[in-house]
Structure 1
Amino acid sequence: MARRRQAVTIRHVADDAGVSLQTVSRVINNEPNVRPAMKDRVQASIDKLGYVPSIAAQRMSGSRSYLILALNDRERTIADWQSRQGTDWVDQMLLGGMLKCAEHGYRMIFELVDTHNDHVEREVKAAIAALQPDGVILTPPHSDNPLITELLEEANIPFARIGSREPGAGVPIVMGDEGAARAATERLIAMGHRRIGFIAGPSEYQVAQWRIDGWRKAMEAARLPTSGLCERGDFGFESGLAAAAKLLDLEARPTAIIASSDQMATAALEVARERGLRIPEQLSLISFDNTPIVRFTEPPLAAIDQPIAATISRAVELLIGAAGGESLPTGPIDVPAGFVERGSIGPAGGANDD
């Protein structure tokens, strides 16, 4: 039987470089009080021996845990996973967060918490006690849950609130929702559309209202009607079917619809086809999120591209800085969204515009 290769330890690095364990530890943790020549010498031994620092070793060397904890909504996340409908919110979170953590020798831990139950405080306290994270990322609807934000504030743990503009502890980071909705609406107006419907998300999410605000501001600036042209869903497909049906059954139906999620947009596409409407000749459609599913519809859906990975990456960067003694910005920090134009939008035609 082959013998297991002996693991390279911090002591091997110290012996090879001819320095103390404390010096190696300071280099590994990127502390400022190490001379450049000494840092190069230790790094050369690390590279030569193939030493990979463990989180346990790093945690023992100081007050940091080298962990960032991200909290996501349990109910909605599990529903998305089970439906297998192409939602990639979590994938994008991990992409942005894990890559940024890796740049700084950190790890990101992903936890699901139900913000609606009576155990949220206990669940968050248990996660903090077990992991002792250097920072926490809160996603909607956790971002403005006072049970969570006050607990983190009392524990003196830096945290970022994604999708929140509310003043208070933690750094609020928004993903350009209002501006993106306004820009998408203005694009449709420029194409000649005068009745533009909007399928919004649930009221418990602040971002849902920001998107309505962006749509409404663009419509009002162009002196176009909004009354009766906004319906709410819950970001899911079934709710999109109901909302789209209400809009498309109006006597003066919209010639374009913006939906606040890809699932609701694909639902609107199905309802339009049931009514014999051609896309985009008789109805233009724009979606939010730009998840993989919108590239495979017929026609492919134009979409507001949510900068999820970039937003989580920015949050990680700020939290790691705070763990090193930097102050968190009071915010809010706005990470702008993009827009991907595809075949689901075109000039207004075959319509009954006012």
Structure 2
Amino acid sequence: MKKTYRDIAAELSLHVKTIYRVLNNAPNVRPVTRRRVIAALSRNGFFDGARIGRERIVIEQPELEWSGRIAERLIRQLDQRIFELIPLSPESARQEFLRAVEEASTVVLLSDPPAEWITRIRDANPEAVLINLFGNHGGDITLGEDHYLGGKLAARHLRRVGIHSVCMLSYDHRSGHRNRGDAFMDEFLRDHPDGACRRCFIRNSSHDVSEALQPLPEAFFATCGQLGDRLHQLLTERGVRVPDEVSLLVYDGPDEAYLKSFPPVDAIEFSIPQVIDLAEYYITKRPLLLHHGPFATRVAPYLVTRGSVKEKTKVKAKQETV
């Protein structure tokens, strides 16, 4: 009879939660403990020991520049290992992508794909392990940032400095952006009946964002760096000063390497290298999924302040003192 995770934990005199922390590549596990757990799991068949030779890994390389750069970084980290790496863009060659999936052991997605596309990949090769980076559903292993926590952190930051009205810009076709926006609105308006939150959905990268300026709120929150950059350029063109006349907060913007001239703005960021390391871990170790089914690993976002959000509460206090 095959051992369970509880059996492995008992054998190593550990709590079963430690086994799951190792499987999820959690940082709060001592290196010596991690090595003991991985060795025990390998001895008992929890890792796929038959993965020898040039295993084929299909990596989605989206046309969106930000996701494409992350794919390139992941490929560089995997390039030192014995893999046959197949980077392909399904936007321009879906049939070629599916043909490559048929002979792959692992498929890595970076575009937050819809359920219909995941189903087609599953149909092409039910045996392939599907790793979904930056997606919210689908796949054997889902990685990425915690969109809900990020949205809440953004709302708390603006409320903490006394912001009462905000306009939020978000792409309407990206589920992660919608989740960030939903969490932001819930947190911003919770217990604050005086708050006003207007939401502007942007259809695509060429959509005019000028509608967001009417009327001008106290602050803007953009659910991605690209939208934040476009908004900042528009405000500059209109002579609206940040943060003197309006505050600006973005999600994960400054770490987006393609935004060469991105201004120093407050941002909700997460560690992209950590996500890439997690992806490498699951590709190279790939715990067998028969024992626990699909699971998700989320990287916690954090707030970085750079002076683009005006502290209205302090300004008001100074005026009253004068």
TM-score, length of structure 1 as denominator length: 0.64
Q: What CA distance in whole angstroms lies between the structure 2 residues aligned with 1:92 and 1:336?
A: 18
Number of the residue aligned with 2:88: 111
Amino acid of the residue matched to residue 111 of structure 1? Answer: L
Question: CA RMSD for the aligned pairs?
Answer: 3.3
Matched, 1:348 2:312: yes
Query: What does residue range 43-54 of structure 1 map to in structure 2 within 5 Å?
Result: none
Amino acid of the residue matched to residue 126 of structure 1? Answer: R
- The partner residue of 1:148 within 110, 120, 123 is 120
Matched, 1:91 2:69: yes
Q: CA deviation at 1:270?
A: 2.4
Q: What CA distance in whole angstroms lies between the structure 2 residues aligned with 1:293 and 1:158?
A: 30
- Rate the CA distance shift 1:124–1:109 in 2: closer, same or farther, 3 A: closer
Q: What CA distance in whole angstroms lies between the structure 2 residues aligned with 1:338 and 1:97?
A: 26
Flag as ranges the 4+ runs of structure 1 deviating above 6 A.
Answer: 225-228
- Rate the CA distance shift 1:103–1:213 in 2: closer, same or farther, 3 A: farther
Number of the residue aligned with 2:319: none
Cα deviation per residue 1:13-50 (whole Å; 9 max; x = unaligned)?
Answer: xxxxxxxxxxxxxxxxx9x79xxxxxxxxxxxxxxxxx
Q: Counterpart of 2:244 in 1: which secondary structure? A: coil
Q: Counterpart of 1:133 in 2: which secondary structure? A: coil
Q: Counterpart of 1:199 in 2: which secondary structure? A: strand
Q: Counterpart of 1:214 in 2: which secondary structure? A: helix
- Rate the CA distance shift 1:246–1:273 in 2: closer, same or farther, 3 A: same
Matched, 1:157 2:128: yes
Q: CA deviation at 1:128?
A: 2.9
- Rate the CA distance shift 1:329–1:94 in 2: closer, same or farther, 3 A: farther
Is the helix fraction higher in 1 or 2? Answer: 1
Q: CA deviation at 1:214?
A: 1.7
- Rate the CA distance shift 1:225–1:308 in 2: closer, same or farther, 3 A: farther
Q: What CA distance in whole angstroms lies between the structure 2 residues aligned with 1:106 and 1:67?
A: 6
- Rate the CA distance shift 1:196–1:148 in 2: closer, same or farther, 3 A: same
Q: CA deviation at 1:91?
A: 2.3
Number of the residue aligned with 1:36: none
Amino acid of the residue matched to residue 178 of structure 1? Answer: Y
Is the 8 Å Cα contact of residues 202 and 234 (structure 1) preserved in structure 2?
yes
- Rate the CA distance shift 1:313–1:62 in 2: closer, same or farther, 3 A: closer
Unaligned runs of 5+ in 1: 1-29, 34-60, 81-87
Q: What CA distance in whole angstroms lies between the structure 2 residues aligned with 1:111 and 1:314?
A: 21
Q: What CA distance in whole angstroms lies between the structure 2 residues aligned with 1:66 and 1:163?
A: 24
Work out the number of aligned pairs and report it: 265
Number of the residue aligned with 1:123: 96
Number of the residue aligned with 2:187: 218
Number of the residue aligned with 1:260: 223
Q: CA deviation at 1:93?
A: 3.1
